[in-house]
Chain A
């Protein structure tokens, strides 16, 4: 697996924008995603997230719903409203058990939801389904 990875990087790595306010969480998930062949850029609040999404045009946005300031649902809606970011797949993360939040995320434009705390296998599976390796 390790030997295969460099070959894959010859093509452009799929870029993921990770919006999450917990720095430690960012470190760990970034490590896990990069190990699986994705490029990760991250930021810790909604405004920056929106800006970065428009500038970098990532292949996928991983978005925590509970954020300081602007919350994930609103970011979701704004992303969908902007023509540049309109088609970027969004995976939102919600607290476990909050089924109603999950529903409103999907209604706000998210393509998939993962539950917090992260189950890396589940997260990777969902990302793969949306954008491939």
Chain B
């Protein structure tokens, strides 16, 4: 190679031929001074500089690393002056623009003038690193190629060597698939390439030859599709693609190629091409939009007229658009994902895909997609059907369905829908409840036989069939025996039609009409009486002409009209001189439609509904037939209903409590005057307004809304014993509110009904009373304690001896003071319990130990009174979590009471664990409590002279306090008694959960003392 290079360059080195530019080696020509005279494309590429930045520069100073610059320069000069022989080969690095050093293997050729003097030096260099890399790549790709060639199903690979013009071809490699592809052995092909070339269909040969020559010149990839005639006569389409590359010496071209059989594709394409016009003709007549888009670029390749119209473009314009232009941008990701999905499946339908017109209007389309090859490109064909209307209809339908279900659920009776086979399609909740199934969904698909007793079910089925056969509604009334009473049931069945008036099932409505029957019966009686009195029947028929002349009056109506012959109707009917304005005859004649009016017969006090029906008599004259219905009763009922409602509203308004109903968004649906007053508005102004819009205190509001949310969540009512409420005037109230979830007729979502009672004053009074009790008790206690202290000082003799009588008096005083002191303590205790201000010092204690202490305390007193005091304890400890002092107080109270009301016998204190709770009982054999007193035992200030059994009288607060303490511990207390036989008080406490029985006694005492 170096030789040939020098040969070429030597011929005209001043104007180096194109060849130097394109060879894959670096070519540099330096002049005697070492300046660059020429560098080829490859050289520029390796150095990274444009040619203009290289030519003219000193090679050694600019493009060599500094470390070797001097040394190399010196060698160069020696070579130039012939002082050094050789120098054809060496390796040294160059410095690239990126300051990288690249090792190049150089081969130098010295260009001499006629005198043999070196004028220039031509160096061709090979990038060693690159060479190594490409060699490796080549190896790898060759292996891959091999592997590929063996495995290609409908193709083969080959390598051809040719000259620079693409002639003198010779196969250097051909894969064994050539047997399959061309019906010849590889060996034969390697010998004579003509074996293959001769197979090329005669008409295509010139095309192939031209393409090859072009590719050889430009060294661009050759792609050619041609027909091949196989030795067995078959004509196949083949696609040849080969990449030419120059051999290192630049003389030969190597073609790495692949040959694919594309007969099937070609056939399909030809077929398509042939039918393309036909297709477009058909496509343009399609009622759906059709578009073909390139899979890669997403550009439209073909659209039909309808498609263009759908999007508001012309057929030509839209071909410049892509899929991205016809869908709303925010849906694109989703749509493109679907588009890609289409590629994997063969046919796919995407429904409700939003599309965007030229003018921005959005419509929805169902798209059926299919991938195909169109003009040699992988494309996607989509058929678009505008379903906007359909979608709207579906939405409307689902909306209607929800209306329907709302209507179903709001019906007062049972409602159901059945198909032709009498299977249930829909029922409301009431139906479900009546059938015992509860959940309406579970009933769907069931038959009457599954739900009702057999006899009943058969009757229902027969009714259904009758309705469907006759195409008429059926009303049945039946007497149903329920557990409580006999009930009248009315069932109303109608056939259900589809859009084409085909019967598809039946619908039914059933309700309890017992009440109505009773009322009707009553009404009938009254009516009959009334009719008798008035001489008027329910309905009557008459015929009147356009001049209000009566032509016919049925016998029943004659009572009103009298003899009809030729008379004006109003003269008799209305007793007026003018045509009755509401008579409806002119209108009925004018519009030729049925007209309905109401007439009042003032003298009889009756209201008649007149249906005026225009018709033409046999003579062609327009007449009006009038059907008169007496609707007095109905009107009266409506009236009374209105009145009732009005009265109810009035009552609601006069109630001083706030009554309101709110929907789920906290909008007022109903408010009474009290609410309106609090907000300084009228009730009408508040309807539809949200509480948040009007309530000014956010903290309160949040509390209300929180409770509302909870109610709507679990559907349970709430009682709020005290909630603060600031009215529109800024005044604070305390309300006691009851909130109930309920369904308001005509409102789908649950609402909340609330009643708030203003307890501000009540709370104030309570507060005031508690304050008084606290203050008074404190003030009373100080002088008492002083008295006590004084008496004690005198009594214990520390101030000097006292006489026995004095001592007796002082002791009496002392007892009295102690009693007073206890009473005050009781008052304080009850006040604290009621206000919840008592503080319990809870700890684990043994109930048994407490009971034992109390017994010890009362032992002397019991002995004095001759009563046996018994203690009944189990072996185990009864650990409770309690305030030991307070529980002791409880037991003491009970024992004290028992002793007080027992004259002889025993008082027994027992404790045990029962049903997971600690239970303590104090039983006496005393006089007992009468029944009427038993229920009031735990009320305040109740004193029952159970006996005159001695002991001091109290305030009647002992038991209320006892109860309060027990309940504050989470326990319960009750009393059992029989007059004359004794009383038993029992209280329970929660057990202390942690097992600490081993340290029990110590712990109990420790807590007690704390």
Asked if A132 is at the interface (CB within 8 A of a chain B CB), the reply is no
Write the nearest CB–CB distance from B630 to chain A, whole angstroms. 80
Residues of A within 8 A of B783 (CB): 24
Shortest Cβ distance from B838 into A: residue: A97
Q: By the criterion CB–CB under 8 Å, are A96 and B781 in contact?
A: yes
Report if A87 contacts B (CB, 8 A).
Answer: no
Contact with A along B745-782 (1 / 0, CB 8 A): 00000000000000000000000000000000010011
Contact pattern, A 88-117, Cβ under 8 Å of B = 1, otherwise 0: 000000011101000000000000000011
Q: Is the CB of B790 within 8 A of A28?
A: yes
Residue of A22, A32, A35 near B782 (CB, 8 A) is A22
Quick one: given A35-B798, A96-B828, A97-B828, are A120 and B781 in contact (CB under 8 Å)? Answer: no
Since A28-B786, A116-B785 are in contact, a sample of 5 more A-B pairs with Cβ atoms closer than 8 Å, ordered by chain A residue number, is A22-B786, A25-B786, A28-B789, A28-B790, A96-B825
- A95 & B786 in contact (Cβ 8 Å cutoff): no
A and B contact pairs by CB, cutoff 8 A, 30 listed: A2-B798, A22-B782, A25-B782, A25-B786, A28-B786, A28-B789, A28-B790, A28-B793, A29-B789, A31-B793, A31-B799, A32-B789, A32-B793, A35-B793, A35-B799, A95-B778, A96-B825, A96-B828, A97-B832, A97-B839, A116-B781, A116-B782, A117-B781, A117-B782, A117-B784, A117-B785, A117-B788, A117-B821, A118-B789, A120-B792
Among A8-40, those with CB < 8 Å from B are 22, 24-25, 28-29, 31-32, 35
Interface size class on chain B is 20 to 34
Query: Which residues of the partner chain B approach A35 to less than 8 Å between Cβ atoms?
Result: 793, 798-799
The 8 closest A-B pairs by CB, nearest first: A117-B785, A28-B789, A117-B781, A24-B786, A99-B839, A35-B798, A28-B786, A118-B785
Closest to A118 in B: B785
Chain B residues positioned under 8 Å from A96 (CB to CB):
781, 825, 828
Q: How far is the CA of A31 from the CA of B796 in the complex (A)?
A: 13
| B790: chain A residues within 8 A (beta carbon) | 28
Residues of B within 8 A of A118 (CB): 785, 789
Contacts of A22 in B (CB 8 A): 782, 786
Q: Provide the bound-state CA to CA distance between A29 and B785, in Å.
A: 10
Tell me the smallest distance from the CB of B861 to a CB of chain A, in Å. 21
A117's nearest neighbour on chain B, judged by CB, is B785
Q: Which residues of B contact A32 (CB under 8 A)?
A: 789, 793
A35–B792 alpha-carbon span in the complex (Å): 12
Separation of A89 and B782 alpha carbons in the complex (Å)? 24
By a CB distance below 8 angstroms, the chain A residues around B782 are 22, 25, 116-117
A127 to B792, CA, bound (A): 19
A109 to B516, CA, bound (A): 82
| Distance of A96 Cα from B784 Cα, bound (Å) | 14
Answer whether A120 and B789 are a contact pair too, CB < 8 Å, given A35-B798, A99-B839.
yes
Chain A residues near B789 (CB, 8 Å)? 28-29, 32, 118, 120
Annotate B96-126 by CB proximity to A: 1 below 8 A, 0 otherwise. 0000000000000000000000000000000
A29 CA to B788 CA, complexed, in Å:
11
Which residue of B784, B789, B839 has the most chain A CB atoms within 10 A of its CB atom?
Answer: B789
Taking the closest CB of chain B, its distance from the CB of A47, in whole angstroms, is 22
Q: Mark interface residues in A62-80 (1 if CB within 8 Å of B CB, else 0).
A: 0000000000000000000
Q: Measured between alpha carbons, how far is A22 from B798 in the docked complex, in Å? A: 23
What distance in Å separates the Cβ of B1010 from its nearest Cβ neighbour in chain A?
13
Interface size, chain A (Cβ < 8 Å) = 17
Residues of the B chain whose Cβ atoms lie less than 8 Å from the Cβ of A25: 782, 785-786
| CB proximity to A under 8 Å, residues B807-843 | 821, 825, 828, 832, 838-839
B837 to chain A: closest residue by CB: A97
Question: Shortest CB–CB separation between residue B824 and chain A, in angstroms?
Answer: 9
- B792 nearest CB neighbor, chain A only: A120
CA–CA, A32 to B783, complex, Å? Answer: 16
Give bound CA distance, A127 to B594, whole Å: 108
Please name all residues of chain B whose beta carbon is closer than 8 Å to the beta carbon of A116 when the two chains form the complex: 781-782, 785
In angstroms, Cα B779 to Cα A116, docked, is 11
**Residues in B neighbouring A117, C-beta threshold 8 A:** 781-782, 784-786, 788, 821
Quick one: closest A residue to B831, CB to CB? A97
Please, how many angstroms separate the alpha-carbon atoms of A25 and B783 in the complex? 8
Measured CB to CB, the nearest residue on chain B to A120 is B789
In the bound assembly, the distance between CA atoms of A96 and B788 in angstroms comes to: 16
CB distance from B879 to the nearest CB of A (A): 24
Residues of B close to A28: CB separation below 8 A: 786, 789-790, 793
Nearest neighbor of A36 in chain B, beta-carbon distance: B798
Across-interface contacts of B784 in A (CB, < 8 A): 117
Give B798's nearest chain A residue, CB to CB. Answer: A35
Find the A residue at minimum CB distance from B821: A117
Residue of B at shortest CB range from A25? B786
| CB-defined contacts of B792 to chain A, threshold 8 Å | 120
Contacts of B828 in A (CB 8 A): 96-97
- A14 CA to B825 CA, complexed, in Å: 34
Q: Which residues of B contact A95 (CB under 8 A)?
A: 778
Distance A77 CA – B232 CA, assembled complex (angstroms) = 122
> Smallest CB–CB gap between A88 and chain B, Å?
25
- Neighbouring A residues of B786 by C-beta, 8 Å: 22, 24-25, 28, 117
B789 (CB) vs chain A CBs: closest residue: A28
Q: How far is the CA of A31 from the CA of B798 in the complex (A)?
A: 10
- In the assembled complex, the CB of B303 is this many whole angstroms from the nearest CB of chain A, namely 86
Distance A31 CA – B792 CA, assembled complex (angstroms)? 11
Q: Smallest CB-CB separation from B829: which chain A residue?
A: A97
A29 proximity list for chain B (CB < 8 A): 789
Residues of A within 8 A of B839 (CB): 97, 99
Instruction: Report chain A residues within 8 Å CB of B785.
Output: 25, 116-118
* A106 CB, nearest partner CB in chain B, Å: 15
Residue of B786, B790, B799, B821 with most chain A CB atoms under a 10 A cut-off: B786
Minimum distance in angstroms from A127 CB to a CB of chain B:
15
- What is the bound-complex CA distance between A29 and B792, given in angstroms? 11
Chain A nearest CB from B797 CB (Å) reads: 10
Give every chain A residue within 8 A of B821 (Cβ-Cβ): 117
- Identify the closest chain B residue to A29 (Cβ): B789
* Minimum CB distance partner of A23 in chain B: B786
Residues on B with C-beta less than 8 A from A24 are 783, 786
Which residue of chain B lies nearest to A24 when distances are taken between CB atoms in the complex?
A: B786
A35 to B786, CA, bound (A): 16
A124 CB → nearest B CB, Å: 12
Give the shortest distance, in Å, between A75 (CB) and chain B (any CB).
19
Q: How far is the CA of A2 from the CA of B788 in the complex (A)?
A: 22
Q: Which residue of B lies closest to A28 (CB)?
A: B789
Q: How far is the CA of A28 from the CA of B832 in the complex (A)?
A: 30
Cα(A32)–Cα(B838), bound, Å: 32
Q: Closest CB-CB distance, A129 to chain B, in whole Å?
A: 14
Q: How far is the CA of A28 from the CA of B790 in the complex (A)?
A: 6
Which chain A residue lies CB-closest to B780? A117
Contact code string A118-133 (vs B, CB < 8 Å = 1, else 0): 1010000000000000
A96→B824 CA distance, assembly (Å): 12
Question: A120 contacts which chain B residues (CB < 8 A)?
Answer: 789, 792
CA distance A26 to B788 in the complex (A): 14
CA distance A95 to B785 in the complex (A): 12
- How many angstroms from the CA of A110 to the CA of B782 in the assembled complex? 22
Chain A proximity of B757: nearest CB distance (Å)? 32
Please give the distance in Å from B835's CB to the nearest CB on chain A.
Answer: 12
- The interface residues of chain A lying within 8 Å CB-to-CB of B825 are 96
| Residue among B788, B825, B832, B838 facing the most chain A CB atoms (10 A cut-off) | B788
Instruction: Mark interface residues in B828-867 (1 if CB within 8 Å of A CB, else 0).
Output: 1000100000110000000000000000000000000000
* Contact partners of B798 in chain A: CB under 8 A: 2, 35
Q: Mark B452-472, 1 if CB is under 8 A from A, else 0.
A: 000000000000000000000
A25 to B838 alpha-carbon distance, docked (Å): 27
* Minimum C-beta distance from B831 to chain A (A): 10
Binary flags per residue of B540-573, CB closer than 8 Å to A gives 1, else 0: 0000000000000000000000000000000000
Nearest A residue to B784, CB-CB: A117
Residues of chain A within 8 A (CB-CB) of B793 are 28, 31-32, 35
With CB as the reference atom, state the residue of chain B lying closest to A2.
B798
Query: Mask for B224-249, Cβ within 8 A of A = 1, else 0?
Result: 00000000000000000000000000
